[in-house]
Homo-oligomer: A and B are copies of this chain.
Amino acid sequence: MFALIVSLRIKPEKRERFLQAAEENSTASVRDERGCLRFDVVEDQAEPTHFFYYEVYRDESAFDAHKQTPHYARWRQAATECVVEGGQQNTRCTVLFPRDYS
């Protein structure tokens, strides 16, 4: 099981645009992709322009498929508008526990 932790720092004036795009991307990923098991969007309580995506895919090929979807393309467009320069950091991970992911 493959997990991606994405740290995102956004422009304060783009908050509503970002939230709309993040909700659409996360909802569509879990709903439409068989290989996407989880896509949570969380906000850092200490920094109101700092967010994380926590994404879980069945394997890395499911993540590759994610990047071919129309909702991902729409998210990337929003990201270019909302995320500050250098403000996205992706950490590729392997899920260890739970062993039987659901």
B52 touches A96 (CB 8 A): no
Write the residues of chain A forming the contact surface with B, with a CB cutoff of 8 angstroms: 3, 5, 19, 22-23, 26-27, 30, 39-46, 51-52, 54, 56, 91-98
Give chain B nearest CB distance to A1 CB in angstroms.
9
B42 touches A96 (CB 8 A): yes
State the CA gap A46–B89 with chains docked (Å).
13
Copies, count = 2
Which chain B residues lie closer than 8 Å to A41 at the CB level?
Answer: 95-97
B19 touches A40 (CB 8 A): no
Give chain B nearest CB distance to A79 CB in angstroms.
16
A97 touches B22 (CB 8 A): yes
Q: List 18 A-B contacts (CB under 8 A).
A: A3-B42, A5-B5, A5-B42, A19-B96, A22-B96, A26-B97, A40-B54, A40-B56, A41-B96, A41-B97, A42-B94, A42-B95, A42-B96, A44-B92, A45-B92, A46-B92, A51-B96, A54-B54
